[in-house]
Amino acid sequence: MVHVVQKLPKKHKVLILGILAGIVGITLIPSEKATASKDSDANALEIGKRYELPITLTEPNIANRSISQEQEEKTQSNGIEKPFHDLSFENFKVKSGDNLAVLFKRAGVSAQTLHQVVNIDKHAENLTRIHPGETVSFAKDEQGELVQLKYAISKTETLLVTKDATGQFRSHIDTKDVDLVEQSVSGEIKSSFWTAAISAGLSERQIMNFADIFGWDVDFANDIRKGDQFSLLYETHYVDGQYIGTGEILAAEFINQGERYAAVKHTDGNFYTPEGRSMKKAFLRAPVNFKYISSSFNPRRLHPVTGKVTAHRGIDYAARVGTPVVSSGNGKVIKSGFNNLNGNYVFIQHGSQYITKYLHLHKRYVSTGDKVRQGEKIGTVGATGRVTGAHLHYEFLVNGVHRNPKTVPLPKSEPLPKTELAKFSPLAQQRLAMLERNRSLQVAMNN
């Protein structure tokens, strides 16, 4: 490079030197006027020294990304797209005589949309079973189109119908958790079991279930006495802290004429004595829900029609016409027919030793040769044949001999297996102890 410059004419050399001098001078001029500070010595930059410069990297600007856009891109839950804006619902109460067409029209929703909604799937079919007093809630978009519908099927289940991004409707059942709380109640009979149970706060369903548990051992129409006592341990149901009703009976105790009967529910859904023997015997004491016994078992009864002494080999249960009559045990129908004396009748064979007979029926629901289960409806109370009024004539035969259905010893059922009994016994003792404490407390409060 130096050799090339030396060969240049003198005039060119002078020009090049001038340009170089100017460049050097520019580089020596500070870029801005220096300012002094207390720490100028400490903070002054030193020539030739490397300094690290902190650099902040800025993320792409997403401040303008709306919440609705983010929600719109979220994946669907249970096949239902989440609403991507706040919904405002308008409630419409179902009036007497309303159907879905009337309700949707009142809500300003087209018949076409109604057709789409009710034909989504089996969940949406719940809408076709709306009842007066219930409420259906509608939410619409800015164009007035339905975007979501809510209907409370029960206290724990709500039907949600939601329009997705494609404009199609989807349904979903939203189920709330039910909290179970155990509660006990006791009472003493002063006039009737029904009255005492209602006074204790039991529902009609609980009363009937209680009677069913002990119906194998106690005749609730004839065996009840003043001073008899009862206790129940049962579930109560809560949703979001709100009471919604009662559940299953867990344990029960009944003291009838000084004799104590106790029953505890096992995990198989059946009730057993504290010793693990099933409360269900091979036969029901009475196969009908009757008002009273119009004629008892009596070998020397005076017949009300003929006036002659004729053995009455069964029990007459007075009840209104149409009252259901059930089979008192598992068995096979050996006769189902009609004659002038018995009217409509059904005879059932139970194993090799037992036969039960049901006479004067209004209607028969079984035929000869049918197999029946205990508690199965076989007919209804009537006044057919030679009778003076509506009643069921019920007979119980053991090895061909008529026995009093009210007093005949009933076969014992099989107990729980040893493995199940080991699980059942501790729970039974715990629940019965709770009943005992509650009854003692109730007695103390009443005294």
pLDDT in tens, 3-62: 555 555 655 555 666 666 566 555 555 544 444 444 444 444 454 544 454 444 444 343
160 plus 224 within the same structural domain: no
Distance of CA 385 to the CA centre of its chain: 46
Angle at 49 between CA 44 and CA 54, to 5 degrees: 80
115 plus 147 within the same structural domain: yes
Predicted pLDDT of residue 21: 59
Give a yes or no: residue 17 inside a domain. Answer: no
Q: Residue 292: which of 372, 376, 390 has the closest Cα?
A: 390
393 plus 422 within the same structural domain: no
Q: Pick the range with the lowest mean pLDDT from 28-32, 142-146, 362-366.
A: 28-32
277 plus 335 within the same structural domain: no
- Residue 25 has phi, psi (to 5 degrees) of -65, -40
User: How many angstroms separate the CA atoms of 217 and 279, rounded?
Assistant: 8
Q: What is the three-class DSSP state of 218? A: coil
313 plus 390 within the same structural domain: yes
Across residues 126-133, what is the average pLDDT? 89
Give a yes or no: residue 9 inside a domain. Answer: no
Which residues make Cβ contacts (< 8 Å) with residue 68, sequence separation at least 6? 84, 85
**Contact 287/325 with Cβ under 8 angstroms?**
yes
Give a yes or no: residue 35 inside a domain. Answer: no
**Eight-class DSSP state of 141:** -
The number of residues in the chain equals 447
Q: What is the three-class DSSP state of 156? A: coil
Give a yes or no: residue 301 inside a domain. Answer: yes
User: How crowded is residue 274: how many other Cβ atoms within 10 Å of its Cβ?
Assistant: 16
Residue 284 has pLDDT above 60, yes or no: yes
Q: Residue 93: which of 45, 49, 131, 51 has the closest Cα?
A: 131
167 plus 184 within the same structural domain: no
> Across all residues in the chain, what is the average pLDDT?
81
Give a yes or no: residue 8 inside a domain. Answer: no
Residue 359 has pLDDT above 80, yes or no: yes
User: How many angstroms separate the CA atoms of 241 and 423, rounded?
Assistant: 32
97 plus 192 within the same structural domain: no
Sheet strands side by side (includes 135-140): 89-93, 135-140, 146-152, 157-163, 169-175
**CATH code of the domain in which 226 resides:** 3.10.450.350
- Of the chain, the percentage scoring pLDDT greater than 90 comes to 47
Predicted pLDDT of residue 196: 94
Across residues 94-118, what is the average pLDDT? 91
User: How crowded is residue 217: how many other Cβ atoms within 10 Å of its Cβ?
Assistant: 17
266 plus 185 within the same structural domain: yes
Angle at 281 between CA 280 and CA 285, to 5 degrees: 105
Q: Which of the two residues, 397 and 78, has the higher pLDDT score?
A: 397
Which tens digits make up the pLDDT trace of 194-247? 999 999 999 999 999 999 899 878 878 778 899 999 999 999 999 888 888 889
DSSP β-bridge partners for residue 80: 77
User: How many angstroms separate the CA atoms of 393 and 360, rounded?
Assistant: 7
**Contact 261/211 with Cβ under 8 angstroms?**
no
User: How many angstroms separate the CA atoms of 62 and 82, rounded?
Assistant: 22
| Number of domains within the chain | 3
Give a yes or no: residue 170 inside a domain. Answer: yes
154 plus 200 within the same structural domain: no
User: How many angstroms separate the CA atoms of 327 and 366, rounded?
Assistant: 10
Predicted pLDDT of residue 124: 87
User: How many angstroms separate the CA atoms of 18 and 22, rounded?
Assistant: 6
Residue 87 has pLDDT above 70, yes or no: yes
**Per-residue confidence band for 67, with pLDDT thresholds at 50, 70 and 90:** very low
- Of the chain, the percentage scoring pLDDT greater than 70 comes to 76
Structural domain ending residue among the three candidates 175, 199, 233: 175
394 plus 428 within the same structural domain: no
**Per-residue confidence band for 370, with pLDDT thresholds at 50, 70 and 90:** very high
Residue 347 has pLDDT above 90, yes or no: yes
Token pair for 372: 């029946």
**Contact 133/94 with Cβ under 8 angstroms?**
yes
User: How many angstroms separate the CA atoms of 119 and 206, rounded?
Assistant: 38
**Per-residue confidence band for 418, with pLDDT thresholds at 50, 70 and 90:** very high
**Contact 362/332 with Cβ under 8 angstroms?**
no
Give a yes or no: residue 386 inside a domain. Answer: yes
Torsion sign (Cα): 326, 328, 334, 337: negative
| Domain enclosing residue 142, as ranges | 80-175
305: exposed, middle or buried (Cβ count in 10 Å: 0-12, 13-18, 19+): exposed
Give a yes or no: residue 10 inside a domain. Answer: no
Across residues 126-145, what is the average pLDDT? 90
438 plus 364 within the same structural domain: no
User: How many angstroms separate the CA atoms of 381 and 221, rounded?
Assistant: 17
382 plus 298 within the same structural domain: yes
**Contact 273/413 with Cβ under 8 angstroms?**
no
Which tens digits make up the pLDDT trace of 145-158? 999 999 999 888 99
Across residues 311-334, what is the average pLDDT? 90
